[in-house]
Amino acid sequence: MARVTRSAARRARHRKVLALAKGFRGRSKNNYRLALGRVEKALQYAYRDRRTRKRDFRRLWIQRINAGARSHGLTYSRLMKGLKDAGIEVDRKVLSDLAVREPESFRSLVERALAALGNPA
């Protein structure tokens, strides 16, 4: 029976891991045994943080909306309740963008929310 050498497959696997380790510090970028552990951990962080990023952005949008709402004498929760009662369906990403970049449009939404709450502006 012929002897099986794994040199081509091993070299390809090592090359793949070392390519993923590009940019790491120290021997982690060019030593396979060190790079393997660091790459596995980096991929775990990447998987976890793809979900964390969504949470972080939602928190940022809510902070921006709250700041914009408070500048018009309203809290975040009252604004969202007023928008829901008024039948305005705008997601938080767009709403925060309006609060930052288009204050006049945001003010008109706040006024409509106040009217729906029964508090004329």
CATH, domain range 7-117: 1.10.1900.20
**Which tokens is 3 given?**
């002897």
Asked if the model's pLDDT at residue 121 lies above 60, the reply is no
Where do the domains of the chain lie? 7-117
Q: How many CB atoms lie within 10 A of CB 38?
A: 19
Residue carrying the six token digits 């007023």: 82
What's the pTM value of the predicted model, to 2 decimals? Answer: 0.80
Q: How many CB atoms lie within 10 A of CB 70?
A: 12
**58: nearest Cα among 73, 74, 80:** 80
What percent of the chain shows pLDDT beyond 90? 92
Residue 40 pLDDT grade (very low, low, confident, very high; cuts 50, 70, 90): very high
**Across residues 35-48, what is the average pLDDT?**
98
**Which tokens is 80 given?**
């969202």
Asked if the model's pLDDT at residue 87 lies above 80, the reply is yes
